[in-house]
Structure 1
Amino acid sequence: MADRIDEQFREFVSSRSAALLRTAYLLTGDWANAEDLLQTALTKTYLAWLRLGTIDAVEPYARRVLVTTATSWWRRRWHGEKPTGSLPETSGTDGADERAERDLLWRFVLGLPPRQRAVLVLRFYEDLTEAETARLLDISVGTVKSQGARALAALRRRMAEEGLEPAASRFGSKELAPGGAVR
């Protein structure tokens, strides 16, 4: 039985670890922390494998562990200055204004409270429904809606403070479809 569990776990890790790592990165904003977070989540998932019952329960459980562990780490860690041996370059552009805007937007996202950030990541980057997000975070659908609305309002406010306009408004009244295509 232990061999069967190990094989199922290996299959799960090989098929889903890339997506889980992406979620971990979106929650932490740092690849090294995301890898640590994923390892912790996979360890906890492996230890709970028998309790989970069905293979369908494994990924939601792993995502839940990612979110709760990231929130726990966020509460415990100091997020101030980080020492470095060399000074960063003062300005180095790659020539793409979109990349600078995206990086600035990510800093804004990372500045959101952990629950608001988790709601945005799960709703808009993992493309989960409000109900799935609520179930994963163990909150009500109304809380998902309110946390999402507050997060988006905060992002809009921060963008306005920086003099940035949302990408959709640059295309007039047309909406942007997923992938940036204009509808």
Structure 2
Amino acid sequence: MTFDKFVESRSPALLRYATVLTGDPHMAEDVVQEVLIRAHRKWSRISSLDLPETYVRRMITNQFLSWRRRKSSGDMSFAPGEMPGLEPVLADPTSQYDDRAELSARIGELPRAQQAVLVLRYFCDLPDNEIADVMGCRSSTVRAYASRALATLRTTTVKGVR
């Protein structure tokens, strides 16, 4: 597959992934654009892989984890239901809950590695071993990040911290 065809067919999915990962559609566009520029330079090697999209997704994750221009507040600029390009394929049963935007904001306050694990686990529905491959760590580290992230979210919910 040529690079142009890859970008044409897979960029909407990569942009959705990056938007959920970053919580900011503008930052997601920047991350995806930066990654696609780097991927273009080594496309002959990437295209020879069995799953080039998985490799590019890992590049997006790494770019997000090292992004230097991240907003200092950690707040999401859009609630997930308002993010352009993230219209659910099916009716979203969680849209009926008022605290969805609040939960998204609290996820945005987690350390980036924990955010990435939650997105890969619950948005991409990947098992721990595949998340570990994407993030370049061990499965036990993935489980630790997920455990800490969920514990933090539970604690802030129980205490009512906003």
User: What's the TM-score, normalizing by structure 1?
Assistant: 0.70
Aligned residue identity for 2:43: W
Q: Match for residue 19 of structure 1?
A: 13
Unaligned runs of 5+ in 2: 76-93
What is the aligned counterpart of 1:42 among 29, 36, 47? 36
Aligned residue identity for 1:52: I
What is the aligned counterpart of 2:26 among 21, 24, 32? 32
Post-superposition offset of 1:65:
1.2
RMSD: 2.5
Larger radius of gyration: 1
Within a 5 Å distance, the mapping from 1:144-155 to structure 2 comes to: 144-155=142-153
Per-residue CA deviation, residues 31-82 of structure 1 (Å, 9 max, x unaligned), is 1111111111111111121222525342122111111111111x45451499
Aligned residue identity for 1:79: S
% of aligned pairs identical? 38
Per-residue CA deviation, residues 72-109 of structure 1 (Å, 9 max, x unaligned), is 11x45451499xxxxxxxxxxxxx98453110010011
Answering whether residue 132 of structure 2 is matched by residue 134 of structure 1, we say yes
Unaligned runs of 5+ in 1: 1-6, 83-95, 165-183
Q: 1:66 to 1:103 in 2, by over 3 A?
A: same
Within a 5 Å distance, the mapping from 1:30-179 to structure 2 comes to: 30-52=24-46, 54-73=48-67, 75=68, 77=70, 79-80=72-73, 98=96, 100-162=98-160
- Mapped contact 1:45–1:61 kept (Cα < 8 A): no
SS at match of 1:100: coil
Distance between the aligned counterparts of 2:161 and 2:111, measured in 1? 23
Post-superposition offset of 1:9:
1.3
- Mapped contact 1:67–1:137 kept (Cα < 8 A): yes
Q: Match for residue 3 of structure 1?
A: none
Kindly indicate whether structure 1 or structure 2 has the higher relative contact order, using CA contacts under 8 Å at least 6 residues apart: 2
152-161 or 107-116, which deviates more: 152-161
Q: 1:156 to 1:117 in 2, by over 3 A?
A: same
Distance between the aligned counterparts of 1:144 and 1:81, measured in 2? 22
